[in-house]
Amino acid sequence: MSLSVKNLTVRLPEGRALVENLSFEVKRGETLALLGASGSGKSVTCAAVLGLLTRGLTSEGDITLEGQPVDYQQIRGKRIACIMQNPSSAFNPVYTMEQHAIETLKATGQSVDQKVISEALYDAGLDDQERVLGLYPFQMSGGMLQRMMLALALMTPADYLIADEPTTDLDLIVQSHILNRLESLSQKRNLGVLLITHDLGVVARLADRVAVISAGKLVEECQAEDLFYQPSSDAGKTLLAAHYAMYNDVVTEDTSADLPGLRATVIKVNPDQMYQQEGSSV
Protein backbone atom coordinates (compact mmCIF):
# COMPACT_ATOMS: atom_id res chain seq x y z
CA MET A 1 0.00 0.00 0.00
CA SER A 2 1.50 3.31 -1.03
CA LEU A 3 1.10 6.86 -2.27
CA SER A 4 2.84 6.93 -5.64
CA VAL A 5 3.95 9.94 -7.70
CA LYS A 6 5.23 9.26 -11.22
CA ASN A 7 6.64 11.76 -13.70
CA LEU A 8 5.13 14.77 -11.94
CA THR A 9 5.72 18.01 -13.82
CA VAL A 10 4.41 21.41 -12.68
CA ARG A 11 4.54 24.33 -15.09
CA LEU A 12 4.09 28.08 -14.99
CA PRO A 13 1.61 29.62 -17.47
CA GLU A 14 4.45 30.39 -19.91
CA GLY A 15 5.47 26.74 -19.86
CA ARG A 16 8.59 26.78 -17.69
CA ALA A 17 8.78 23.75 -15.40
CA LEU A 18 9.03 24.29 -11.65
CA VAL A 19 9.06 20.54 -11.05
CA GLU A 20 10.06 18.14 -13.82
CA ASN A 21 9.51 14.37 -14.13
CA LEU A 22 9.57 13.83 -10.37
CA SER A 23 8.81 10.30 -9.15
CA PHE A 24 8.71 8.83 -5.64
CA GLU A 25 6.68 6.47 -3.48
CA VAL A 26 5.57 6.68 0.16
CA LYS A 27 4.64 3.39 1.81
CA ARG A 28 2.46 2.89 4.86
CA GLY A 29 4.55 2.82 8.02
CA GLU A 30 7.54 4.71 6.60
CA THR A 31 8.70 8.30 6.37
CA LEU A 32 10.09 9.64 3.10
CA ALA A 33 11.86 13.00 3.37
CA LEU A 34 11.66 15.24 0.32
CA LEU A 35 14.85 17.22 0.87
CA GLY A 36 16.09 20.29 -0.93
CA ALA A 37 17.25 23.87 -0.57
CA SER A 38 14.78 26.76 -0.54
CA GLY A 39 13.27 27.19 -3.99
CA SER A 40 14.03 23.64 -5.10
CA GLY A 41 10.35 22.77 -5.63
CA LYS A 42 9.48 20.96 -2.39
CA SER A 43 6.35 22.89 -1.43
CA VAL A 44 5.13 23.03 -5.03
CA THR A 45 5.39 19.24 -5.12
CA CYS A 46 3.43 19.04 -1.87
CA ALA A 47 0.69 21.27 -3.29
CA ALA A 48 0.54 19.22 -6.49
CA VAL A 49 0.15 15.95 -4.58
CA LEU A 50 -2.76 17.48 -2.65
CA GLY A 51 -4.32 19.11 -5.72
CA LEU A 52 -3.81 22.57 -4.23
CA LEU A 53 -1.64 24.30 -6.81
CA THR A 54 -1.81 28.07 -7.10
CA ARG A 55 -4.05 29.30 -9.91
CA GLY A 56 -2.16 29.40 -13.19
CA LEU A 57 0.10 26.47 -12.40
CA THR A 58 -0.61 23.24 -14.24
CA SER A 59 0.50 19.71 -13.47
CA GLU A 60 0.88 16.48 -15.37
CA GLY A 61 1.90 12.99 -14.37
CA ASP A 62 0.33 10.17 -12.39
CA ILE A 63 -0.54 10.33 -8.70
CA THR A 64 -2.08 7.15 -7.32
CA LEU A 65 -3.15 6.03 -3.88
CA GLU A 66 -2.88 2.30 -3.32
CA GLY A 67 -2.95 1.74 -7.07
CA GLN A 68 -5.95 3.96 -7.83
CA PRO A 69 -5.89 7.43 -9.45
CA VAL A 70 -6.52 10.08 -6.81
CA ASP A 71 -9.85 11.87 -6.51
CA TYR A 72 -8.85 14.95 -4.54
CA GLN A 73 -12.33 15.60 -3.20
CA GLN A 74 -12.44 12.08 -1.81
CA ILE A 75 -8.93 11.76 -0.40
CA ARG A 76 -8.00 15.21 0.89
CA GLY A 77 -8.34 15.07 4.65
CA LYS A 78 -9.94 11.64 4.52
CA ARG A 79 -7.05 9.56 3.17
CA ILE A 80 -4.25 12.15 3.15
CA ALA A 81 -3.87 14.71 5.94
CA CYS A 82 -1.53 17.69 5.88
CA ILE A 83 0.47 19.85 8.27
CA MET A 84 1.18 23.17 6.61
CA GLN A 85 4.44 25.12 6.76
CA ASN A 86 3.01 28.27 8.37
CA PRO A 87 0.39 27.31 10.97
CA SER A 88 -0.49 30.91 11.83
CA SER A 89 -1.98 31.41 8.35
CA ALA A 90 -3.75 28.03 8.23
CA PHE A 91 -6.40 28.74 10.87
CA ASN A 92 -9.58 30.79 10.58
CA PRO A 93 -8.92 33.79 12.87
CA VAL A 94 -12.55 34.00 14.03
CA TYR A 95 -12.88 30.30 14.93
CA THR A 96 -11.92 28.80 18.26
CA MET A 97 -9.90 25.60 18.30
CA GLU A 98 -13.08 23.70 19.19
CA GLN A 99 -14.81 25.09 16.10
CA HIS A 100 -11.83 24.02 13.98
CA ALA A 101 -12.03 20.53 15.47
CA ILE A 102 -15.77 20.23 14.83
CA GLU A 103 -15.37 21.47 11.26
CA THR A 104 -12.58 18.94 10.64
CA LEU A 105 -14.71 16.03 11.82
CA LYS A 106 -17.70 17.10 9.74
CA ALA A 107 -15.59 17.76 6.63
CA THR A 108 -14.21 14.22 6.78
CA GLY A 109 -17.66 12.65 7.12
CA GLN A 110 -17.45 11.89 10.83
CA SER A 111 -19.84 12.65 13.64
CA VAL A 112 -18.73 15.11 16.30
CA ASP A 113 -17.15 12.92 18.96
CA GLN A 114 -15.54 14.55 21.99
CA LYS A 115 -13.52 11.39 22.62
CA VAL A 116 -11.90 11.64 19.18
CA ILE A 117 -11.09 15.31 19.81
CA SER A 118 -9.70 14.60 23.27
CA GLU A 119 -7.51 11.71 22.08
CA ALA A 120 -6.12 13.76 19.19
CA LEU A 121 -5.23 16.67 21.48
CA TYR A 122 -3.56 14.28 23.91
CA ASP A 123 -1.58 12.57 21.15
CA ALA A 124 -0.43 15.96 19.85
CA GLY A 125 0.80 16.93 23.32
CA LEU A 126 -1.81 19.58 24.09
CA ASP A 127 -2.66 19.59 27.79
CA ASP A 128 -5.39 21.60 29.53
CA GLN A 129 -7.77 20.68 26.73
CA GLU A 130 -10.73 22.72 27.92
CA ARG A 131 -8.66 25.90 27.83
CA VAL A 132 -7.02 25.07 24.49
CA LEU A 133 -10.35 24.40 22.76
CA GLY A 134 -11.60 27.83 23.80
CA LEU A 135 -8.62 29.69 22.35
CA TYR A 136 -8.47 31.64 19.09
CA PRO A 137 -5.40 31.38 16.84
CA PHE A 138 -3.98 34.76 17.90
CA GLN A 139 -3.97 33.57 21.51
CA MET A 140 -1.65 30.65 20.77
CA SER A 141 2.10 30.43 20.19
CA GLY A 142 3.59 29.02 17.00
CA GLY A 143 4.39 25.78 18.78
CA MET A 144 0.85 25.41 20.09
CA LEU A 145 -0.59 26.12 16.63
CA GLN A 146 1.69 23.50 15.09
CA ARG A 147 0.56 20.95 17.67
CA MET A 148 -3.07 21.90 17.06
CA MET A 149 -2.57 21.38 13.34
CA LEU A 150 -1.14 17.95 14.12
CA ALA A 151 -4.16 17.25 16.35
CA LEU A 152 -6.55 18.21 13.53
CA ALA A 153 -4.70 15.85 11.19
CA LEU A 154 -5.08 13.08 13.76
CA MET A 155 -8.84 13.66 13.93
CA THR A 156 -9.07 12.46 10.34
CA PRO A 157 -9.05 8.80 9.28
CA ALA A 158 -6.07 9.50 7.00
CA ASP A 159 -3.52 6.77 6.25
CA TYR A 160 -0.95 9.25 4.93
CA LEU A 161 0.39 12.52 6.31
CA ILE A 162 2.17 15.27 4.39
CA ALA A 163 4.21 17.46 6.73
CA ASP A 164 5.54 20.59 5.01
CA GLU A 165 8.46 21.98 7.06
CA PRO A 166 6.74 21.08 10.36
CA THR A 167 9.43 22.62 12.59
CA THR A 168 10.16 25.87 10.74
CA ASP A 169 10.44 28.94 13.03
CA LEU A 170 10.00 26.87 16.20
CA ASP A 171 12.52 26.92 19.04
CA LEU A 172 14.65 23.84 19.69
CA ILE A 173 12.58 22.50 22.58
CA VAL A 174 9.30 22.77 20.65
CA GLN A 175 10.97 21.22 17.59
CA SER A 176 12.00 18.28 19.73
CA HIS A 177 8.44 17.79 21.01
CA ILE A 178 6.92 18.01 17.53
CA LEU A 179 9.41 15.53 16.07
CA ASN A 180 8.91 13.11 18.95
CA ARG A 181 5.14 13.25 18.42
CA LEU A 182 5.43 12.72 14.68
CA GLU A 183 7.69 9.72 15.17
CA SER A 184 5.53 8.01 17.80
CA LEU A 185 2.27 8.71 15.96
CA SER A 186 3.55 7.45 12.61
CA GLN A 187 4.41 4.18 14.33
CA LYS A 188 1.21 4.02 16.36
CA ARG A 189 -1.06 4.59 13.36
CA ASN A 190 1.15 3.01 10.69
CA LEU A 191 1.09 6.27 8.75
CA GLY A 192 2.91 6.86 5.52
CA VAL A 193 4.60 10.24 6.00
CA LEU A 194 5.90 12.56 3.28
CA LEU A 195 8.18 14.96 5.13
CA ILE A 196 9.04 18.17 3.27
CA THR A 197 12.21 19.71 4.71
CA HIS A 198 15.55 21.41 4.14
CA ASP A 199 16.76 20.46 7.62
CA LEU A 200 19.11 17.48 7.79
CA GLY A 201 18.62 17.24 11.55
CA VAL A 202 14.94 16.52 10.94
CA VAL A 203 15.87 14.00 8.25
CA ALA A 204 18.20 12.17 10.62
CA ARG A 205 15.57 12.14 13.34
CA LEU A 206 12.55 10.95 11.36
CA ALA A 207 13.24 9.75 7.83
CA ASP A 208 13.59 6.17 6.63
CA ARG A 209 14.36 7.22 3.06
CA VAL A 210 15.34 10.48 1.39
CA ALA A 211 14.57 11.94 -2.02
CA VAL A 212 16.81 14.93 -2.79
CA ILE A 213 15.53 17.46 -5.29
CA SER A 214 17.35 20.35 -6.94
CA ALA A 215 15.82 22.83 -9.38
CA GLY A 216 12.66 20.73 -9.44
CA LYS A 217 14.39 17.48 -10.39
CA LEU A 218 15.08 14.34 -8.40
CA VAL A 219 18.86 14.04 -8.10
CA GLU A 220 19.25 11.38 -5.41
CA GLU A 221 17.14 8.77 -3.60
CA CYS A 222 18.55 6.61 -0.83
CA GLN A 223 18.16 5.30 2.70
CA ALA A 224 18.43 8.17 5.19
CA GLU A 225 21.69 7.09 6.77
CA ASP A 226 23.32 6.61 3.36
CA LEU A 227 22.94 10.34 2.72
CA PHE A 228 25.12 11.03 5.76
CA TYR A 229 27.75 8.44 4.92
CA GLN A 230 28.10 8.89 1.17
CA PRO A 231 25.84 11.36 -0.65
CA SER A 232 25.94 10.83 -4.40
CA SER A 233 24.53 14.13 -5.67
CA ASP A 234 26.05 17.61 -5.61
CA ALA A 235 22.89 18.91 -3.94
CA GLY A 236 23.10 16.28 -1.20
CA LYS A 237 26.79 17.03 -0.60
CA THR A 238 26.15 20.77 -0.44
CA LEU A 239 23.27 20.42 2.03
CA LEU A 240 25.31 18.09 4.22
CA ALA A 241 28.37 20.36 4.22
CA ALA A 242 26.19 23.37 5.05
CA HIS A 243 24.58 21.48 7.92
CA TYR A 244 27.94 20.60 9.45
CA ALA A 245 29.26 24.13 8.92
CA MET A 246 26.26 25.55 10.77
CA TYR A 247 26.26 23.13 13.68
CA ASN A 248 30.00 22.42 13.82
CA ASP A 249 29.99 18.89 15.18
CA VAL A 250 28.59 15.57 14.14
CA VAL A 251 26.47 14.35 17.03
CA THR A 252 26.71 10.64 17.64
CA GLU A 253 24.61 8.28 19.69
CA ASP A 254 26.94 8.83 22.66
CA THR A 255 26.50 12.61 22.74
CA SER A 256 22.93 13.08 21.52
CA ALA A 257 21.46 12.74 25.03
CA ASP A 258 23.10 16.03 26.02
CA LEU A 259 21.21 18.04 23.40
CA PRO A 260 18.14 20.05 24.41
CA GLY A 261 16.87 20.03 20.81
CA LEU A 262 17.17 17.93 17.70
CA ARG A 263 18.38 20.21 14.92
CA ALA A 264 21.85 18.69 15.11
CA THR A 265 22.30 15.40 13.33
CA VAL A 266 21.45 12.55 15.69
CA ILE A 267 22.05 9.26 13.95
CA LYS A 268 24.05 6.09 14.55
CA VAL A 269 27.20 6.88 12.61
CA ASN A 270 30.94 6.49 12.71
CA PRO A 271 32.23 10.09 12.43
CA ASP A 272 35.41 8.89 10.69
CA GLN A 273 33.29 7.56 7.83
CA MET A 274 31.07 10.61 7.44
CA TYR A 275 31.17 12.42 4.12
CA GLN A 276 33.24 15.62 4.19
CA GLN A 277 33.10 18.23 1.45
CA GLU A 278 36.57 19.22 0.23
CA GLY A 279 37.77 22.15 2.29
CA SER A 280 35.26 21.56 5.10
CA SER A 281 35.82 20.10 8.51
CA VAL A 282 33.55 17.91 10.60
User: Could you tell me the CATH number of the domain that includes residue 215?
Assistant: 3.40.50.300
Binned at pLDDT 50, 70 and 90, residue 276 comes out as: very low
Amino acid identity at 100 = H
Q: Tell me the average pLDDT across 117-143.
A: 92
Tell me which of 17 and 251 has the higher pLDDT: 17
- Determine the pLDDT at residue 71: 86
Q: Would 178 be classed as within a structural domain?
A: yes
Which pLDDT tens digit goes with each residue over 161-192? 999 888 777 777 877 888 888 888 888 889 99
The pLDDT value recorded for residue 248 is: 60
- 1 inside domain: no
34 falls within a domain: yes
Question: Does residue 174 form part of some domain?
Answer: yes
pTM over 0.85: no
Which helix H or strand E contains 271, and what residues bound it?
A: none
**Residue 8 counted as domain residue:** no
CA-CA-CA-CA torsion sign (171, 237, 84, 180): negative
Nearest of 205, 207, 278 to residue 237 by alpha carbon: 278
Pick from 49-63, 68-82, 135-149: least confident = 68-82
Note the pLDDT tens digit of each residue in 8-53. 999 999 999 999 999 999 999 999 999 999 899 998 999 999 898 9
Q: Count of domains in the chain?
A: 1
**Domain span including residue 104:** 23-57+67-273
Task: Report yes or no on 189 lying in a domain.
Answer: yes
User: For residue 256, is it within any domain?
Assistant: yes
Calculate the average pLDDT of the chain.
85
Let me know if residue 36 belongs to a domain. yes
Q: 54 φ, ψ to 5°?
A: -60, 145
The CA–CA distances, whole Å, from 218 to 42, 67, 187, 249, 265 equal 11, 22, 27, 28, 23
